[in-house]
């Protein structure tokens, strides 16, 4: 499935993105690796299988319009077979304590950057009637919980965007896949924004007890290869939560209020 495919992967320097990069490279994909720090991206590129097949494209997705324009110039019409919108930032703060600027930052990275990069590659895919757009959302995009109001808001939004995109391109050869990780054992909690925009700086027990990023990447890539519309990745309650939200929303409301 991925052999010889040009795959643009954001958030490629750590966590789920790094695991995706390694597995995609092993599968023969040609990667365009994006995150903020070029030196870290270059280290990642050099560590991958077939490293000379890959390139780095540093972007700050907190500024989506600028990032998209930089990418447009760098790619210069290059064919992208698969776009994987994986970059994102989480949050750990109560609504009452969270600055409006933090909500805006979460939306810029977790929602508007997805829209901007998708719109950049979509015209070429439509012209070729071929391509796949993947966004790594979250179980938080289906079930809102305490301390994640801005993150959940952005992830709910991006799932809605992907649903609309899927409907609009259903007969035009484009595959649209949403990946919803539950609790994954990455640094996501460490990097989560607090109410004033500073990083939390430590793990939380939910993520620390989650599945590995390698397991998450493996399941996600199978869903991408199979052309699935949506896949929930995780274990335990975080995997069950979207199902329960659909069929027993009252139960879910009581559960999240007690956690």
Radius of gyration of the chain (CA): 17
Does 254 fall in a domain?
Answer: yes
Residues 6+ apart with CB under 8 A from 122: 131, 133, 169, 174
Does 145 fall in a domain?
Answer: yes
Average pLDDT over residues 157-181: 98
Q: What share of the chain is helix, strand, coil (3-state, %, to 5)?
A: 50, 15, 35
Does 232 fall in a domain?
Answer: yes
* Angstrom distances, CA of residue 91 to CA of 140, 151, 191, 201, 257: 11, 6, 8, 11, 18
Query: Half-sphere exposure (CA, 13 Å, Cβ side) for 171?
Result: 0
For residue 136, give the nearest of 204, 223, 43 by alpha carbon. Answer: 223
Please check whether residue 17 is in contact with residue 10, taking contact to mean a CB–CB distance below 8 angstroms. Answer: yes
Q: What is the CATH number of the domain that holds 151?
A: 3.40.50.720
Average pLDDT over the chain, rounded to an integer: 96
DSSP-assigned letters across all residues of 34-80: E-S-HHHHHHHHHHSTTGGG-EE----TTSHHHHHHHHHHHHTT---
Does 49 fall in a domain?
Answer: yes
For residue 224, give the nearest of 153, 103, 132 by alpha carbon. Answer: 132
Q: How many domains does one find in the chain?
A: 1
Does 196 fall in a domain?
Answer: yes
pLDDT at 208 over 80: no
Does 226 fall in a domain?
Answer: yes
Which phi and psi (to 5°) does residue 103 adopt?
-60, -40
Chain segment 38-60, per-residue pLDDT in tens: 999 999 999 999 999 999 999 99
How confident is residue 144, by pLDDT bands cut at 50, 70 and 90?
A: very high
For residue 8, give the nearest of 98, 75, 102, 88 by alpha carbon. Answer: 75
* 165-193 exposure pattern, b = at least 16 Cβ within 10 A, e = fewer: bbeebeeeebbbbbbbbbbbbbebbeebb
Instruction: Report the percent of the chain where pLDDT is more than 70.
Output: 100
How far apart CA 245 and CA 95 sit, in angstroms, is: 22
Instruction: Of 49-53, 70-74, 99-103, 196-200, give the lowest mean pLDDT range.
Output: 196-200
From the list 2, 8, 103, 151, the catalytic residue is 151
How confident is residue 94, by pLDDT bands cut at 50, 70 and 90?
A: very high
DSSP 3-state of 232: strand
Does 1 fall in a domain?
Answer: no
Instruction: Give catalytic status of residue 111 as yes or no.
Output: no
Q: Which domain holds residue 30?
A: 6-258
Does 214 fall in a domain?
Answer: yes
């Amino acid at each position: 499935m991925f052999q010889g495919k040009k795959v643009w992967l954001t958030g490629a320097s750590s966590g789920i993105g790094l695991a995706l990069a390694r597995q995609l490279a092993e599968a023969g994909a040609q990667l365009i690796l994006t995150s903020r720090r070029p030196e870290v991206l270059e280290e990642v590129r050099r560590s991958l299988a077939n490293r000379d097949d890959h390139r780095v494209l540093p972007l700050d997705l907190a500024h989506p319009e600028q990032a998209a324009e930089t990418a447009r110039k760098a790619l210069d019409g290059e064919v992208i077979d698969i776009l994987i919108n994986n970059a994102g930032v989480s949050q750990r703060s109560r609504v009452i304590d969270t600055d409006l600027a933090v909500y805006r930052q979460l939306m810029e990275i977790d929602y508007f950057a997805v829209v901007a990069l998708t719109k950049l590659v979509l015209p070429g895919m439509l012209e070729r009637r071929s391509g796949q757009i993947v966004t790594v959302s979250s179980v938080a995009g289906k079930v809102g919980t305490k301390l994640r109001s801005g993150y959940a808001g952005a992830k709910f939004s991006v799932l809605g965007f992907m649903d609309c995109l899927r409907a609009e391109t259903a007969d035009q050869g484009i595959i649209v896949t949403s990946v919803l990780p539950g609790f994954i054992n990455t640094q996501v909690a460490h990097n989560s924004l607090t109410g004033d925009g500073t990083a939390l700086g430590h793990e939380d027990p939910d993520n620390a007890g989650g599945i590995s990023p390698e397991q998450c990447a493996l399941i996600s890539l199978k869903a991408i290869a199979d052309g699935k519309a949506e896949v929930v990745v995780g274990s335990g309650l975080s995997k069950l939560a979207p199902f329960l939200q659909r069929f027993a929303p009252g139960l879910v409301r009581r559960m999240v209020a007690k956690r």
